[in-house]
Chain A
């Protein structure tokens, strides 16, 4: 067998045109103006085939040949080297069938992970982690919020005591290992939120906005739902997993396309967040029904917080919001309201 190649001695960067001559016993001769080198084919380190790029034959003495004759090289490789890995890769990459299957598999895997895999994984990890993890996250977050955003509550202690008593009544029956605390703060408008360990913060503005204590209880039940279902920890786990997955799948993304990668992450995270809101709503609905609190109170307070009439049409922009459309959220509460029965 005989074919052309370019020879580099490994000492000077000079290209030399040569002929490679391989005899039946697998001995290779590199022939330029004279025989430049000679060895067994099996001692040559042959580079893998990669698209149309050139192949390298690395000789034991450090010299190299560069060659485009893929067919001859592959034949010799099959005959003298049993390693099939290099051919296997190129076969995968050059057949359109495998490429199509690979594309579909990658897309299906990514979607499957994002829709089912990551949420399920985050859920089981969150359940397995000890409560002490929740607590260390909460302490850090609460400290920052208190230092920068929230200020002390200005409610009179009678109101605080009344609500706290009802709250303690509520959590007495919550069946999980969290220890619940109710914290009164001001700032942030009419609002309430839950921290992973069971600390629930409610603002003065929200309490002043409510006409009945049941409205506040409805909000608190929703927040307890977040804690029971470990939403805080799960959302931290999910967002790190999504970022990891996308980096792993797309590989090194340069600065310019980094922005393109941020878009799906934003869409995904708001989607996860909406699912958590609905889960917490369901918890609140269940709680209110079993404790004979009119579920309509939830609808009332939610409409007050969002400042909506509840008649608005669903917006095409709902998919970038962290919360589902109010109208959709309050519907189950209206349906179950005692007023309707």
Chain B
């Protein structure tokens, strides 16, 4: 897409610095503690503002302008629901199942509201982004395809992940322009299959190495898993458990880095910003903006790995550093090209969006973004 002659590259960069972000992060935590969690809504806004404000496209930063008070209200409702859930769960074990089914049923709505809220309060050059209020699409994706995963023994999983990206990209808009993702189902199958192979390969090598080194102690390990007794732990067993954990971590990070880097590239390189109304005739369709992702799997793995080690060794104090360098790497590997004049874009009328969906997504960590 990006090779189109009429499109000119636009500079995109990230200017955040770990030291600066650390200070904001630690003050956020302190004030959240002192205010018994109330400040966390302001903390969330400040966090997001820092990352948006340091992402600079063509000389202009992005802006996050949600109201902390609205977020606080949403959080209070969600916390009340979660407390209710965990209390009833202990008294009526049956309630847990009912809650989970209910949760699965409202998930499409939650995801949609969360996307709507985030887009509505994200802006670039004083123009907000938007997300379609399109519930049937969300239901089809999360419930329709979601139910097919166990029925197809997971074979549909890459297709499902692809559908989520499609739902996410195609419903976003900027002014009267919309984002459009061309189907890349085949690529998704390839990446998820390879990731699975990588996972198996690393685990196989790990198992082989561990059993070669600690052959004898594995037997001990398998023989003593019962609770309440002293498991027959000797240093060899413990060391082999640690080794397995280490290998598991590496296998996980390798597979995650591979899938994230490849799907990021595939999705962005096939996304464009186009006019909402497609032309009637088959005229060559020049998009307003085109994108390209260039994340490299080995660099991504290196960042994931060193981030994890850094966070463990610093008991969490390096989290800001880890977040900043990951954001920097991702943004620096997203390339944008556009027609010179953005004047053609015009702001559209937008309504307020409630926060309950987005805060539920936030607290339960519904991660579907990039």
Contacts and interface: CB of A to CB of B under 8 A. Distances in A.
Interface stretch (B30-38, B107-115, B144-152, B186-194): B30-38
B343 to A, nearest CB: 5
Contact of B316 (A140, A250, A307): A250
Interface of A: 6, 8-15, 47-48, 50-54, 56, 62-64, 66, 89, 92-94, 98-99, 102-103, 105-107, 109, 133, 136-137, 140, 188-193, 240, 248-257, 259-261, 263-264, 302, 305-308, 315-317, 320-323, 326
Contact of A53 (B54, B235, B253, B346): B54
B230 A302 contact: yes
A92 B228 contact: no
B23, B53, B304, B345: which has the most chain A beta carbons within 10 Å? B23
A261 B362 CA distance: 18
B312 A6 contact: no
Contacts, number: 187
10 contacts: A8-B126, A13-B124, A13-B125, A47-B49, A51-B54, A56-B63, A99-B27, A102-B30, A257-B308, A305-B230
Contacts of B238: 315, 317, 320
Nearest to A312: B234
A248 B32 contact: yes
A176 B125 CA distance: 68
Contacts of A264: 315
Contacts of B175: 13
B229 A92 contact: no
B367 interface: yes
B319 A257 contact: yes
B26 interface: yes
A15 B226 contact: no
Contacts of B355: none
Q: Is the interface of B mostly helix, strand, loop or mixed?
A: helix
State the 6 A-B residue pairs at the shortest beta-carbon distance, nearest first: A53-B53, A8-B126, A13-B125, A317-B238, A306-B230, A193-B228
Interface stretch (B4-12, B40-48, B133-141): B40-48
A6 B56 CA distance: 14
B342 A12 contact: yes
Contacts of A105: 30, 33
Nearest to A9: B126
Contact of B125 (A15, A99, A189, A316): A15
Contacts of A257: 307-308, 311, 319, 322
A92 B127 contact: no
Q: Is the interface of A mostly helix, strand, loop or mixed?
A: mixed
A63 B307 CA distance: 40
Chain B contact patch, size range: 35 or more
Interface of B: 15-17, 20-33, 37, 40, 43, 46-47, 49-50, 53-54, 59-61, 63, 65, 86, 90-91, 93, 124-127, 174-175, 224, 226-235, 238-239, 249, 252-253, 256, 304, 307-308, 311-312, 315-317, 319, 322-323, 326, 342-343, 345-347, 362, 365, 367
B61 A53 contact: yes
A145 to B, nearest CB: 10
A109 B59 contact: no
Given A12-B345, A13-B345, A106 B30 contact: yes
B226 A189 contact: yes
